[in-house]
Amino acid sequence: MTFLGVDLHKREFTVCYRHSENNQVIREFENSPEGRDEFLTTVSCRDTVAVESLGFDRFFVKLIAPKVKKVVSVHPGANRIVSESSKKTDKNDAAGLAWGLEKGVLPKSRFRSEISHQLSRLLTCRASLIGMRTKITNQLNFIVATNGLDVPLGKLKYRLWRDRVPVETFEFGDYQAWLAFDAQLEKIGESVNQLDREIISNSKHFAGYKVLEGIPGFGKVTIAELLAYIDGIENFTSSKSLCAYFGIVPRIRQSAGQNILPKKYSRFKAGAITRQGRSSARCAIVMSVNRVVPENQSLRDFYERIKGRKGYRKARTATARKLLTFVYFALKKGEAISDFGKVDFSKPHELPN
């Protein structure tokens, strides 16, 4: 068996073939169809390959996976063999990956399914368009304000309110800017509506869609965001592992049984959540708390109790973790939620035997 470490870049990649402690070969290939084909001729079904998960590695992993025994996606943020190396070269990085693969010390990352990857792409595109729409709407609000008009904040993203603005009274600069922004808003609105239809249609392919649909306050986009990021509840052995995957668990910094005090201006404090993982998925579950809490009395009591002691921000985060724990058990059971208001959040959830 040969252990291969691949340092992948957009235009080229370096490979270390590690046969034993004193027997390794390093080669360089172009990241092109010809270069990848040449690389495939050097591997066998007995080889194991390690590739850092950098976003553009997906095509490469899917290409080589049928040709080798196993492909390991390495977490780049946790891979100290490469990130803290004193000799930072492509050859040394590839050799470090091959060595770590042989010793079994590489931090692994999940290689998500194709439908999860594509649904995440749709959600990212939608979020970008929403951000662009917000920026353009702010520009329209500024134009309206400079012309002495008063339009309620947030209303100019709608065609009905934009048609009410007397743009014919504007000076030429404001008038032309308004026309350009108005046309862009119209196109963005059409694109967002199209993306929403695609997101809803594709998220229904997940087995847990019907389960989460029964939670009041979970919109279609929120459900899609959660399902795309979870990508199969069978990948998680407990609700704690799911909460840690979302980065919604407290950061613990202790030594000799005592908490380590953070630096004066450090962002990472003991007790604050880790914020690991996809921020949009974490934001989706946290923001849904505002809509879900009024639908369940026991969850509302928990929220109010934490809010009275630590404020609404920490209460919202703690409630989001409790809600995510419920999502874990609901997806594990695979049963549609008939009456969310009767769920008792004061008792621990259990899986059927």
Per-residue pLDDT tens over the stretch 211-253: 999 899 899 999 999 999 999 999 999 999 999 999 999 887 7
Reading phi first (left if > 0) and then psi (alpha if -120 to 50, else beta), residue 124 is in alpha
* Residue 191 domain-assigned (yes or no): yes
Among 177, 203, 229, the domain-final residue is 203
Number of other residues whose CB lies within 10 A of the CB of residue 132: 15
Domain boundaries, position 135: 114-203
CATH number reported for the structural domain that contains residue 54 in this entry? 3.30.420
Count of structural domains within the chain: 3
8 A C-beta contact, residue 85 and residue 40? no
Q: Does one domain contain both 198 and 215?
A: no
Q: State yes or no: pLDDT of 97 exceeds 50.
A: yes
pTM: 0.87
Strand (E) or helix (H) holding 83 = helix 80-83
* Residue 108 domain-assigned (yes or no): no
Percentage of the chain with pLDDT > 70?
95
Q: Does one domain contain both 13 and 71?
A: yes
* Residue 251 domain-assigned (yes or no): yes
* Residue 348 domain-assigned (yes or no): no
Q: Does one domain contain both 83 and 152?
A: no
Mean pLDDT of 295-316: 93
Position 269 confidence tier, pLDDT thresholds 50, 70, 90: low
Q: State yes or no: pLDDT of 88 exceeds 80.
A: yes
Among 64, 79, 103, the domain-final residue is 103
* Residue 177 domain-assigned (yes or no): yes
* Residue 19 domain-assigned (yes or no): yes
Token pair of 29 as six digits: 């290939």
* Residue 290 domain-assigned (yes or no): yes
Among 176, 203, 230, the domain-final residue is 203
Q: State yes or no: pLDDT of 278 exceeds 80.
A: yes
